[in-house]
């Protein structure tokens, strides 16, 4: 009896180990909490074929939109931590949404294992080509002389462009008029039509119209000048300290992901991002490859979470 029990336990342990080593042996879902066609979706679809090549299983992108990405984040949290559901998201659900949507059914500080920040992209302070504001100094001078008068478009309350404007106002001790839209497309349309005065749009959203001369870029939120817009000064070099801001896309998994699977995923994602057929295209769009470690991402997420919590509280920002 004792020998039989030992044999059975040994067989079970061996089978379990073999199963773990075999990951992935079925399709893996890349869960994106936004509609198809956006930046986050594009990142997921860019790397999925390379993950498929390296890991030998199918990687399927699933879009689960709603409530600023918090619906998809809650679904990712509920998934089994077995490596078959990977959450691919922008910063919103990780560090912004939970401060705005109190009913969010997850805790971003506790419910995920962080794998890597894939890419980041700065925001650009842009005005229509016919704007009287030629420089950042012009904008600040107008703000000081006309508090709350200069309108800033955003893709929605709590979006990166909205919070960047709020941070800018808080640092400079000024105020503007926030005009939220239901998405980036209508915001861009009204900006091009001069129905709003300015915006802090993501570089890959505005680059085409800036290059075409339809918009004028006055400043960029990156730590150093972008090679795509080398003549545009950073906010930091212009004297606006503490205003380095990036929008970012990252990958995480439900809490409890086995260490060996996390290691395989991280290695494969980093390789995919740096692949010769992918990296140049991402750079051309304005993305910067980050591909940091799980430990670096965990520390970065906590810092970003605290930073945007403060901006939201000081600005009394709501999701409405």
Mean local confidence (pLDDT), 77-83: 98
Omega before residue 24 within 30° of 0, cis:
yes
Same domain, 146 and 105: no
119 has a pLDDT exceeding 80? yes
From the number of C-beta atoms within 10 Å of its C-beta (0-12, 13-18, 19+), residue 103 rates as: exposed
Structure tokens at 206: 């505005």
The predicted pLDDT at position 182 comes to: 85
Residue-wise pLDDT for 34-48, tens only, equals 989 889 999 999 999
Q: Please check the confidence at residue 216 and state whether its pLDDT lies above 90.
A: yes
- For residue 7, pLDDT over 80 is answered with no
216 in the same domain as 136: yes
Whether the CA torsion 241, 229, 202, 111 is positive or negative: it is negative
259 and 270 part of one domain: yes
Rounded to an integer, what distance in angstroms lies between the CA atom of residue 151 and that of residue 167? 15
Both structure tokens of 106 = 């997850």
Are 251 and 116 within 8 A, CB to CB?
Answer: yes
CATH value at residue 69: 3.40.190.150
108 belongs to a structural domain: yes
Is residue 206 one of the residues assigned to a domain? Answer: yes
**How far apart (Å, rounded) are the C-alpha atoms in residues 62 and 19?**
25
Q: What's the mean pLDDT when you consider all of the chain? A: 93
Q: What is the pLDDT of residue 102?
A: 85
Residue 157's pLDDT is: 87
The verdict on 75 and 216 lying in the same domain is no
DSSP characters for 165-230? Answer: HHHHHHHHT---EEEE-SSHHHHHHHHHTTSS-EEEEEHHHHHHHHHTTSEEEEEE-SSS--TTST
């Amino acid at each position: 009896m004792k020998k039989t029990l030992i044999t059975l336990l040994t067989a079970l342990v061996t089978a379990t180990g073999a199963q773990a080593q075999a990951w992935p042996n079925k399709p893996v879902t890349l869960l994106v909490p936004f509609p198809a066609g956006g930046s986050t979706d594009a990142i997921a679809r860019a790397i999925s074929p390379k993950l498929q090549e390296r890991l030998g299983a199918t990687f399927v992108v699933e879009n689960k939109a709603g409530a600023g990405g918090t619906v998809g984040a809650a679904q990712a949290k509920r998934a089994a931590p077995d490596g078959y559901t990977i959450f691919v998201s922008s910063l919103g659900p990780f560090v912004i949404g939970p401060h705005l949507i109190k009913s969010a059914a997850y805790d971003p500080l506790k419910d995920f294992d962080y794998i890597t920040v894939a890419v980041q992209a700065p925001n650009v302070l842009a005005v229509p080509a016919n704007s009287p504001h030629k420089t950042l100094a012009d904008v600040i001078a107008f703000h000081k002389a006309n508090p709350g008068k200069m309108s800033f478009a955003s893709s929605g309350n709590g979006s990166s462009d909205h919070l960047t404007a709020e941070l800018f106002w808080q640092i400079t001790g000024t105020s503007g008029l926030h005009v939220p839209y239901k998405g980036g497309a209508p915001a861009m349309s009204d900006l091009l039509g001069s129905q709003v005065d300015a915006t802090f749009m993501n570089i890959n959203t505005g680059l085409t119209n800036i290059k075409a001369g339809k918009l004028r870029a006055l400043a960029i939120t990156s730590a150093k000048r972008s090679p795509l817009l080398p003549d545009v000064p950073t906010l930091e070099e212009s004297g606006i300290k503490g205003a380095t801001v990036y929008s970012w896309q990252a990958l995480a998994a439900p809490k409890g992901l086995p260490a060996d699977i996390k290691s395989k995923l991280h290695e494969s994602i980093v390789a995919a991002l740096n692949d010769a057929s992918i990296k140049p295209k991402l750079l051309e769009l304005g993305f910067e490859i980050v591909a940091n470690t799980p430990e670096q991402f965990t520390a970065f997420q906590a810092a970003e979470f605290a930073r945007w919590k403060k901006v939201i509280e000081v600005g009394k920002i709501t999701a409405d």
